[in-house]
Structure 1
């Protein structure tokens, strides 16, 4: 499932995938894969992304049924 909420939060902070990747110490390809739904990040990485984007885990990673 695509993570459009993460992509929107990143765009709202005017961050590129590379800038977010640098902030959380992963590759740009990892951020791209998360946004496309091709990669499930660890909870540690989810928390780092949330801190960087000023969002909660529920804001970005909670899956609606």
Structure 2
């Protein structure tokens, strides 16, 4: 089975924002951001698109299959 990898922590670090700031910006909980970053939760398409919009990148620049 494929595992979904992501670059959310890297992108957050580049912008110097916290998990809470990102969560507030895309209207999810900080725990959601944390579990996505650690790979324990694969986000819905809606959340993935919100993240891509926030970071102004394509979804494929955030998420990839291992």
Q: Structure 1-normalised TM-score?
A: 0.87
In 1, distance between residues paired with 2:18 and 2:55? 12
Superposed displacement of residue 63, structure 1: 1.7
More strand by share: 2
- Does residue 1:54 correspond to 2:56, yes or no? yes
2:20: which partner in 1? 18
Supply the RMSD in Å over aligned alpha carbons. 1.3
Q: Would you identify which runs of 4 or more consecutive aligned residues in structure 1 move more than 4 Å?
A: none
| Bigger RCO of structures 1 and 2 (CA < 8 A, at least 6 apart) | 2
The number of aligned residues is: 63
Structure 1 gap segments, 5+ residues each: none
